[in-house]
């Protein structure tokens, strides 16, 4: 019976009421924090796993690529175009008035110093993600001698900059570095 007067007090006494509310609010908010933290593993598990992240840098040997040639490599499960430009192509790229471009960038912005003839870009059209033509022998290089995306007709120039068609941006240049004169680490 000891609880009974206490119960009555709880109902009438202001302090009692406040204490009751405080405990329920604390309990409920703690439960809320717990439920929210359960979301962390549930959401995080969908991010790339450790093996995917570890495989996200690729070493490419570029020594065998002749001027005018390109190879398709794979970087993060996406095509990567590695192209050694001919002097004529470099000149053509440098000739363009940068201000007139949709996505203004010079060739030097898109290559590494000392390796201005090595153009390394993702082979993913910035429009809707098709793989442009032009990297392999005999494929159409489009109106500007670079790459041509057949899906919706985007033309890229010799510096892989968008010149014509619906694509909004130049072909993306990934992060990379020359580990030596012949080996490039992408990513």
Active site residues: 152
Cα separation, 33 vs 7, in Å, equals 30
Tell me how crowded residue 85 is: count the other CB atoms within 10 A of its CB: 24
CB of 122 to another protein, least distance (A): 20
CA distance 92 to 117: 12
Which CB sits closer to another protein, 8 or 140? 8
> Residue 123 CB, nearest distance to another protein (Å)?
19
Q: What is the DSSP letter of 115?
A: B
41 makes contact with another protein (CB under 8 A): yes
Q: In angstroms, rounded to a whole number, what is the distance separating the alpha carbons of residues 173 and 76?
A: 14
From start to end of 16-101, where are the E strands?
58-61, 70-75, 78-84
The stretch among 8-16, 137-145, 153-161, 165-173 that binds another protein (CB under 8 A) is: 8-16
Q: Does 54 bind another protein (CB under 8 A)?
A: yes
Q: Which stretch binds another protein (CB under 8 A): 49-57, 108-116, 145-153, 159-167?
A: 49-57
77 part of the interface to another protein, by CB under 8 A:
no
- 55 near another protein (CB under 8 A): yes
CB-nearer residue toward another protein: 55 or 108: 55
How far is the C-alpha of 41 from the C-alpha of 54, rounded, in Å? 20
Rule CB under 8 A: say whether 47 interacts with another protein: yes
């Amino acid at each position: 019976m000891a609880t009974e007067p206490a119960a009555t007090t709880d109902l009438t006494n202001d302090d009692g009421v406040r204490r009751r509310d405080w405990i329920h609010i604390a309990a409920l908010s703690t439960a809320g924090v717990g439920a929210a933290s359960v979301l962390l593993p549930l959401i995080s598990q969908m991010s790339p796993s450790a093996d995917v992240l570890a495989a996200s840098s690729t070493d490419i040997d570029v020594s065998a690529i002749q001027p005018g040639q390109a190879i398709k490599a794979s970087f993060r499960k996406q095509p990567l175009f590695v192209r050694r430009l001919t002097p004529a192509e470099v000149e053509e790229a440098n000739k363009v008035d940068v201000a007139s471009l949709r996505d203004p960038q010079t060739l030097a912005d898109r290559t590494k110093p000392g390796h201005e003839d090595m153009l390394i870009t993702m082979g993913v059209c910035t429009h809707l993600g098709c793989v442009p033509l032009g990297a392999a022998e005999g494929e159409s290089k489009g109106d500007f001698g670079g790459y041509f995306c057949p899906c919706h007709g985007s033309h890229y120039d010799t510096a892989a900059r968008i010149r014509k068609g619906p694509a909004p941006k130049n072909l993306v240049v990934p992060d990379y570095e020359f580990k030596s004169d012949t080996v490039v680490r992408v990513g």
